[in-house]
């Protein structure tokens, strides 16, 4: 299998994602809207079809969908270095801010201006709404897909649970297969994925090896750092939908174990909503707030790497197999329904 060359430089990817990491407020759907404006409309790194297919793939994978799309864009643009650069640029601004917030709480308590966090969240509403509107116009161009989007929104509002998101995505794909004519094969430039299928399969194997092996290592080697890494790796591996869905799992890991008290957990959650970038960087706050070592910068960075590592392994492992699936007409019809449900 010939591996296509990439066309960019990791430093270029880093600069673009750093700007997004400093300005992308809102949840995963808003971030996907920002990415579309930046990489499809403005920079033309991807075609509209390639981008929407990447979004659909990442919706099927556990973990933070917007961060996974960013990793995939970096990987196809500048190889493994581009994937790392995209993640660093998009993630580190909010992660550093939340670690500093955790250190500030440890030194000065929770004496913050009462309206500060609320003001930041309110100011982001208009920006988020604009991004979602642009994405909706692109992914819901006809009545059937508008109906799928409306039904999906109603379902997740009535039953806001992780299992409902999975059901909605599956039903959207089935509905699109039934209602939408399979599109004819379209001309599109294949994604430049600098990995062969053998390497991709090895990465997927490593994902499962860590998922099942880390709990055993944590029992055999009962160090706090190993327990922390295991807990946050599982959180990044088992949560579909990303964003707020991960919060109950993180709370169940850190509060009952006495790693972080409930009041500090809630304070960090409020701060995580007020900063740009992915909500999964809340892990950096929790790692920095641990009541026992590792804590501070070392704990924050360890938790951050642990919760995002599954996304790297899954995206890099799945992309080389994705091109064959997206070329299938029936698969493309199902993807049209999935993309509408995402909005």
Write out the DSSP string of 67-80: HHHHHHHHHHHHHH
Q: How many domains is the chain built from?
A: 1
| Ranges under pLDDT 50 in the chain | 1-2, 120-121, 123-125, 127-128, 131, 162
Look up the pTM and report it. Answer: 0.76
Q: Quote the CA–CA distance of 80 and 96 in Å, as a whole number.
A: 23
User: Is the Cβ–Cβ distance between 89 and 10 less than 8 Å?
Assistant: no
**Model pLDDT, residue 268:** 85
Q: Is residue 178 a part of any domain in this protein?
A: no
Range of the domain at 62: 1-108+117-140+183-329
**Model pLDDT, residue 166:** 55
Q: Is residue 188 a part of any domain in this protein?
A: yes
Q: Is residue 68 a part of any domain in this protein?
A: yes
Nearest to 297, CA basis, from 109, 98, 111, 110: 98
Instruction: Say which DSSP state 327 is in.
Output: T
Q: Is residue 145 a part of any domain in this protein?
A: no
- 131-183: per-residue pLDDT in tens? 455 555 555 666 666 777 777 777 766 765 545 555 766 677 677 666 665 55
Q: Is residue 40 a part of any domain in this protein?
A: yes
Q: Quote the CA–CA distance of 17 and 24 in Å, as a whole number.
A: 10
Q: Is residue 153 a part of any domain in this protein?
A: no
Query: Do you know the residue count of the chain?
Result: 343
In this structure, how many other beta carbons lie within 10 angstroms of the beta carbon of residue 10? Answer: 21
User: Is the Cβ–Cβ distance between 98 and 21 less than 8 Å?
Assistant: no
Q: Which CA distances in Å does 237 have to 32, 282, 297, 308, 312?
A: 20, 16, 23, 9, 11
- 104-123: per-residue pLDDT in tens? 887 776 555 555 555 544 54
**Model pLDDT, residue 303:** 97
Q: Is residue 271 a part of any domain in this protein?
A: yes
Distance of CA 80 to the CA centre of its chain: 17
**Model pLDDT, residue 1:** 44
**Angle at 216 (CA atoms; ends 313, 286), nearest 5 degrees:** 65
* CB hemisphere CA count around 164 (13 angstroms): 12
**Model pLDDT, residue 131:** 45
Q: Is residue 149 a part of any domain in this protein?
A: no
What b-and-e string marks burial along 150-161, b requiring 16 or more CB atoms within 10 Å of the CB? ebbeebbeeeee
């Amino acid at each position: 299998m010939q591996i296509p060359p990439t066309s960019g430089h990791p430093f270029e990817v880093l600069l673009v994602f750093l700007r997004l990491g400093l300005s992308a407020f809102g949840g995963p759907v808003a971030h996907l809207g920002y990415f579309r404006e930046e990489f499809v409309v403005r920079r033309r790194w991807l075609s509209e079809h390639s981008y929407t297919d990447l979004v659909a793939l990442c919706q099927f994978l556990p973990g933070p969908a917007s961060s996974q799309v960013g990793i995939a864009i970096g990987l196809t643009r500048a190889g493994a270095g581009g994937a790392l650069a995209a993640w660093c640029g998009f993630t580190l601004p909010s992660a550093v801010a939340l670690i500093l917030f955790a250190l500030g709480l440890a030194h000065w308590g929770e004496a913050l201006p009462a309206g500060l966090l609320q003001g930041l969240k309110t100011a982001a509403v208009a920006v988020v709404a604009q991004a979602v509107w642009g994405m909706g116009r692109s992914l819901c161009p006809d009545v059937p897909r508008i109906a799928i989007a409306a039904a999906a929104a109603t379902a997740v509002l009535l039953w806001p649970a992780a299992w409902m998101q999975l059901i909605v995505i599956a039903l959207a794909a089935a509905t699109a297969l039934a209602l939408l004519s399979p599109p004819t094969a379209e001309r599109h430039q294949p994604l430049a994925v600098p990995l062969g299928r053998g390497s991709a399969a090895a990465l997927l194997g490593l994902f499962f090896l860590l998922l099942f092996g880390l709990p055993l290592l944590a029992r055999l080697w009962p160090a706090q750092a190993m327990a922390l890494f295991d807990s946050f790796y599982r959180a990044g591996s088992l949560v579909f939908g990303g964003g707020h869905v991960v919060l109950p799992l993180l709370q169940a890991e850190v509060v009952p174990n006495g790693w972080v008290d409930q009041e500090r957990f809630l304070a960090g959650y409020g701060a995580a909503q007020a900063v740009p970038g992915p909500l999964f960087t809340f892990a950096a706050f929790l790692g920095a707030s641990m009541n026992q070592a590792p804590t501070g910068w070392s704990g924050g960075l360890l938790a951050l790497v642990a919760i995002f590592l599954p996304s790297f392994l899954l995206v890099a492992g799945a992309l080389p197999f994705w091109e064959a699936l997206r070329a299938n007409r029936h698969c493309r019809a199902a993807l049209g329904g999935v993309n509408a449900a995402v909005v």
